Chain A
Amino acid sequence: MSVFLQGLYEGIINGSILALIAMGIALVWGVMNILSFSQGEFLMLGMFVSYYANRLLGLDPIVAMPLSALVLFVLGIIIYKLIIARALRGPILSQRLITFALSMVLVYSAQLFFGAEYKTLSNPVKFSGTIDLGFLTIAKQKLVPFLLALIVAGLLFWFLRYTRMGKAIQATSMDRYAAGLVGINPDRAYTISFALASAVAGAAGCALTYYYYLYPNVGATFQLWGFIAVAMGGFGSITGAFLSGLLMGIADTLTGLYVNTAIKYIGVCVVFLVAVSFRPKGIFGK
């Protein structure tokens, strides 16, 4: 029983990172109708911010998290203004592929400037250690991605539903031109959405450095599962992306634990296939 509980708990924790990536992708897709292939690379950049904050300033990732989110938010604005906004005026294929090209530039730039070798945090992390409950072992640092996913999901929900800008973003996602007619600046709504998605990935990257190694291609590993979580939750649904990420983490861990570790990702894919068989637009898709 304790192994099952441990597996269930770890599944939720592992799924939190997927949920965080998926929420960023869902936000960009839901508002701008662009599949953000660079979300994994924003996660990678967040990890590098965390790594250097730890190495140069001795900061814990949890302390570096606001800095990382801010850096990625600003970077998101710059990238949107200089690249994405222009591509949005072009043909649909360009819109879809522009973030793919961007992801390649970010990976190779990281390789050039930070090196291709594997890195882990070099200075001791203060927020670490385990809490042993007898039936459950809780690694403190692994609570960070879970709590972050909860906070981000809550904040995004609140922001989109109850703030003026959030409502403007929702209106723009429904009909960009109609939103413009009632005085909403669609370009501003797009900019904020893209930057917010980047900031979420930046914060997730910080949380990930607590237990995962860092290298320029690290984003691709998580991004694919992020896309599946978005498709399973329903394109554009933040709640769907969050819950699907957690569900995928649980499926991954329990399949590995009770079926076979060699095919644990089949378990995840079976859950996805079943979900879209019953709900082709995703669990929360409309």
Chain B
Amino acid sequence: MKKFLSFFLAVTMIFTLAACGNNTNSGNQNGSAGDGQSDGNTIRIGVLTPLTGSSAQLGNQVAAIYQMLTDVINEEHPELTMAMAASAGITSMDGAKLELVIADHKSDATTAVSEAKRLITEQNVVAICGEFTSAIAKAVAVVTEQYEVPLIVSCSAVSLTDGTNDFQWFFRYAITDETYIKDTFDFMNYLNENYDAGIKTIAMFSEDSEFGANIVPIEEKYAAEYGYEIVEKINYSSSATNLTSEVLKIKEADPDVLLMSSFVSDALLFFNTCKEQKYTPNFIIGQRGGFIQSDYLTAMGDENNYICTTGSWASDINTDVTKELVDLWANSSYNTEKVDLMDSHVKDAMNLLFLAMAIEQAGTTESTALREALLNLDYDMDTLMIPWNGISFNEYGQNTQSNGFVTQYYDGAYHTVFPAAGASMEPVFPMPEFDY
């Protein structure tokens, strides 16, 4: 009996491991592992995303949206306004089809580096995009620079494009923390001027990895520039077993506005601890991160009402492409979890669209020509998912014309509240108390 049970357990473990491995490989569903050639009719795009690990939910959703978007680009959709949708495939390359080779970086920089090398040297991908944190993007950029392959990301750390790294094959169309944080302080001024909010003091609550650490000095700079007093500054580990002392210090300082740079888990723990301490911050503005991820919103539910976050896309943007995109995703077979489209999804999806447009423009996948096309992209803003001011790059691979806005959560979705021109809801200040 014991031997049988041992055998059964061993078989179960083997199946478990096989299934875990399968999870990684399932991303490669379009890639025929091993042959590694992008022939004339298919163009291989490397997609690095966390399919397992702590950010697996977002990573899998991004992979799913990439697959949906690839189908749109590869097939004829004359009814859609979106760029690259009207005709099938890359017309300048005889209708060549995009083929995604999806790899799992597990939110781990070492894995991301080895997977990036594999995608380039074994799978012959022409460029890499996907879902990255700033720390992982920085690690992968070293590989893409070495092999001279374009890397397109939407994470926001300023340090990636401030010249310290001198990346030549790194592209970021999306905005940086600098812009997001300037939006935050402009929004606070707007609340003071138009809603008599009386905001004078702020507190900063920032996790201590690349994400939060990059944001802190920018917030300090703008606080000094805009004349807001910082009454508390908390740096903490996002994997903390508790945030009790952090919350007690914020409660004691009681700032007019709390600026949070947090991931999903720590944001959830923070709000739980606030409720235990019977404390509701006067007003909260998050810096994206966990605030725009579906597992955070699912866990928070209505308790997220009136919390603000900066962002670069919201479903209430009144453009044809946004409506098409929301509709496509809602009805897509790839949307197995039936989640709503979010800022974090669209920013990443934009990168695949830009890459397809650049290949179309270059008429080749040769890396130097592709780099030139990415830097000098011809575009019609009305056909893009995010209506930025424009696209033009500085010498460090940063789009200098992208812009963001502030949204406030209410009734199951984020609504644009700033700038006023694009607002779909009046901001509510201060926040009502949590239900203790």
Contact = CB atoms under 8 A, between A and B. Distances in A.
A79 B353 CA distance: 50
A225 interface: yes
SS class of chain A's interface: helix, strand, loop or mixed? helix
B258 to A, nearest CB: 14
A264 to B, nearest CB: 6
B245 A264 contact: yes
Given A118-B264, A213-B265, A129 B436 contact: yes
Contact of B277 (A119, A137, A217): A137
Given A129-B436, A261-B236, A262-B236, A116 B52 contact: yes
Interface string B267-303: 0110011011110000000000000000110010000
A211 B241 contact: no
A222 B269 CA distance: 15
Nearest to B277: A137
Contacts of A116: 52-54, 56-57
Interface in A133-188: 137, 139, 141-142
SS class of chain B's interface: helix, strand, loop or mixed? helix
Contacts, number: 125
B280 to A, nearest CB: 13
Contact of B249 (A78, A211, A257): A257
A209 B194 CA distance: 42
Interface stretch (A29-37, A107-115, A197-205): A107-115
B224 interface: no
A126 interface: no
Interface in A46-83: 78, 81-83
Interface residues of B, number: 43
B2 A81 contact: yes
Contact of A137 (B56, B269, B276): B276
A104 to B, nearest CB: 9
A117 B275 CA distance: 23
B146 interface: no
Contact of A257 (B241, B248, B272, B295): B248
Chain A CB within 10 Å — which of B241, B295, B296 has the most? Answer: B241
Contacts of A130: 276, 278, 436
Contact of B16 (A105, A129, A213): A105
B268 A256 contact: no
A71 B141 CA distance: 47
Give the bracket for the number of chain A residues in contact with chain B. 35 or more
Given A118-B299, A253-B244, A211 B272 contact: yes
Contacts of A256: 244-246, 249
Contacts of A254: 245
A17 interface: yes
A22 to B, nearest CB: 13
A111 B241 contact: no
A181 B159 CA distance: 68
A261 B295 contact: no
Contacts of B272: 120, 211-212
Interface stretch (A2-10, A234-242, A270-278): A2-10
B23 interface: yes
A119 B299 contact: yes
Contact of B20 (A14, A83, A111, A142): A111
Given A118-B299, A129-B436, A252-B245, 20 more contacts: A7-B245, A11-B244, A78-B5, A105-B16, A112-B16, A115-B56, A116-B53, A118-B268, A118-B295, A139-B277, A142-B276, A211-B272, A211-B276, A217-B53, A221-B239, A222-B241, A254-B245, A256-B245, A257-B245, A257-B249
7 contacts: A14-B242, A78-B9, A105-B16, A112-B19, A116-B56, A139-B275, A212-B269
